[in-house]
Structure 1
Amino acid sequence: MSKHEKSKVRAYLTTRKVNPENQESPIHFFDKTTYPHSCLFRRNHFPYPDYISASFVITGLVQKPLRFSLEQFQSMPSKRVKAVLECAGDKRNLFVPKVYGEQWEKGAISQGCWSGVPLRDLLQYTGLLKGAKEVVFEAQDYGKRKDIDQTVPYARSLPLQKALHPDTLIAYEYNEKPIPFKNGFPFRLIVPQWYGMASVKWIKQITVIDKQFEGPFQAIDYVYYPNKDEDTGKFPVTLMNVNSTIQQPLNMDILNTGNHMISGIAMTGQGRIAKVEISIDKGKTWSPAKLEHNDEYAWVRWKYLWEVQETGEYIILSRATDTAGRTQPGTAFWNRKGYGYNAMDKIEVKIE
């Protein structure tokens, strides 16, 4: 293969479902801190909207309801935030016992730089009325839910405190270009450190309310249910768990003796990554990996040089710890909808 031909080689998304479209990013083949547009993972509950409005309205408990257009946004002071976007169901396929739902492996995650206007700035324009408690975001995609026998839009809320965080954005650009249509163009909410279901795409309307929002994507889905057959102990999915993924080598690789670079990413919804450790002996001993690019909302890239001279089969584990003191467990917290999987990552390789 010539040098020119090699330059054309690229990684592609992995299809999980065609309608609605759900695609995993090629997580194992990126060593950069931002993803190109073509490799952002895609998560949908409904078909793509037939028509997209280039404006949205803020209404509800506000002093002055206002409509904002894309043209207005492009002339307003903006902010850029590099952030991980991870589906709450990322790694669902790894739960034991198995759970129903989209069988994501490790690629329901992407990262890049989102540019937009802080939501709190927009709410300053409209003003908030007394009693405001939550902010509801309604998307332009919709469909029928069989469990409630209703046609509904995708909609979720944020508590007022999170909505007013300076880094909660209504984004209109990704990596300094318009957000791809399949990832939310023209307006997408970005909520750093929360799982991706909070970052509502194709925003149609923002409504300030004085009570707890009870839409099905908040009260039924994206809830941790610790028990298989009843709802006792349920609680909402919000912050990302501390997590890590081994990118290279690949699971079930066959390698030669010598030096091998074990590399990957780690991320958290609280603080930053404090350390990543690697084990080559099934968790009996651990060695520190070298961390790179430890930004506030972005994943950390890490590397560990493995010197191996003995042939055989090996299990490689990675575990991350964040500055909030959370460490990846050996076994993930099982829940019947399969959210928040964050057990130590594991691959197996053979040395010949």
Structure 2
Amino acid sequence: MSDGRVRPYFTTRGLIPENQETPIHFLRGSIFDKGYWFLRNHFQYPDLTINSGNLLITGAVKKAFIIKLEQLKTLPSKTITVPLICAGNQRAEFRPKVYGEQWEEGAVSQGVWTGVPLKDLLGVSGLEENALEVVFTGADRGTTPNVDEAVLYERSLPMNKALHPDTMVAYEYNGQPIPFKHGYPLRLIVPNWYGMASVKWLQKITVVAQPYEGPFQTDDYVYYPDPHTDEGKSPVTTIRVNSIIQQPLDHSIIDEGAHVIVGLAWSGEGQIEEVEISFDKGNTWEAVTLAQDQTKRYAWTEWQYNWTTPGKGTFTIQTRAKDSDGNVQPEREYWNRKGYGYNAIYRINVKVE
């Protein structure tokens, strides 16, 4: 690159459809450039047309209407910093192993989104008394293992989440039009929920009077705790409290002396209140230093810890985060056969020479 900096590459998890993992361990800062956003797709990219910027709002509403992108931009907007985290992030860590894209820690990114609150658009249409959920349809389509014919990517939100003041129809990312691969021209943004809820290439919003049961609602993005049956299943929704170490890397060799351990923490239930670190396999814990902007209620938390190595040898470093609602990273992950929501205490091993 012309600026002389070394730029890390994505880790390819799939090409058809394209799934690329962000080099999270090498990136610093709270906002990611579009070039470093992870890519998660279920199908190949859609073909956009001149009408792709038209958004239809229909269903159990008093007045269905179509709003064009240019019209949407004239409405009162808001701008919020939101991380998007794939529900399958860290799937590679599950034991026993599970099937699916073997994401490590890099199916996460964060940026600044600008758009119109969904509740304002639904306010224009007016909700019928029997309105129960809101279904969001993207332009991407394809087949799934359980459906032979092509389907569109669709997800629904319960009415209380759809009407949350920060659930928005976004048209800008980091002050620019949303990049095509991340949902241009319109993308739903759902703070605090895993990324599958933030439907890309949004083309239709349908208010329904009955529970939505599409394949990405009732088959995928469901926790199945039993390896063989559907007993105890529950929907994947809110991001679980988590922390990761960005540097040093797992199984790296470092010199004796002073080191700065850095990482990230996030939660969907509340803001990060504390991150602790352990060097004795969890027998004792120490608090790290948090870097937080209290004005950004959804943003992840950067943290660091100054460590002076006690001598040569091998060391296990663990971290755990706690949020303002009292949620703490567990010792072991919540195993489920599709590999969603991994958030066990984070651990790496390093060798000091």
1:44 to 26, 34, 41: 41
The residue type equivalent to 2:10 in the other structure is: L
In 1: Cα distance, 2:244 partner to 2:35 partner = 21
The residue aligned with 1:103 is 102
SS of residue paired to 2:25: helix
TM-aligned CA deviation for residue 11 of structure 1: 2.2
Relative to structure 1, the CA distance from residue 305 to residue 136 in structure 2 (aligned partners, 3 Å threshold; closer, same or farther) is: same
What residue number does 1:327 align with?
Answer: 328
1:241-320 matches, within 5 Å, as: 241-294=240-293, 295-320=296-321
- CA displacement at 1:6 relative to structure 2: 6.3
> How big is the shift at 1:309?
3.3
Partner of 2:156: 157
Amino acid at match of 1:104: W
Deviation at 1:346, TM superposition (A): 1.0
Matched pairs, number: 349
Query: In structure 2, what residue type is equivalent to 1:78?
Result: S
- Give 1:1-352 correspondences, 5 Å limit: 7-52=4-49, 53-294=52-293, 295-352=296-353
Tell me how far apart the structure 2 counterparts of residues 78 and 321 of structure 1 sit (CA, whole Å). Answer: 32
For the residues of structure 2 that align with 1:10 and 1:128, how far apart are their CA atoms? 49
RMSD across aligned positions (CA): 1.1
Partners of 1:11 and 1:115 in 2: how far apart?
28
Which TM-score applies when normalising by structure 2? 0.97
Shift of 1:104: 0.5
1:142 partner SS:
strand
Give 2:299's aligned amino acid: A
Q: CA deviation at 1:5?
A: 6.6
CA distance in 1, matches of 2:210, 2:2: 58
CA-to-partner distance for each residue in 1:42-73, whole Å, 9 max, x for gaps?
10000000224111100001111111111112
- Structure 1 stretches of 5 or more lacking a match? none
One-letter identity of the residue aligned with 2:317: I
Instruction: Percent identity, please.
Output: 54
Distance 2:326 2:332 in 1: 17
Q: Deviations over 1:132-172 (max 9, x none)?
A: 01000011000012312221000000001100000001001
Moved over 6 A (4+): none
SS across alignment from 1:139: strand
Deviation readout 1:279-302 (Å, 9 max, x if unpaired): 111111110001112431110001
TM-score (normalizing by structure 1): 0.97
| Deviates most, 135-144 or 64-73 | 64-73
Q: C-alpha separation between the residues in 1 aligned to 2:115 and 2:194?
A: 19
Q: Distance in 1 between matches of 2:286 and 2:5?
A: 37
How far apart, CA to CA, are the structure 1 residues paired with 2:125 and 2:66? 10
Three-state SS of the structure 2 residue aligned to 1:149 is: strand
SS of equivalent to 1:7:
coil
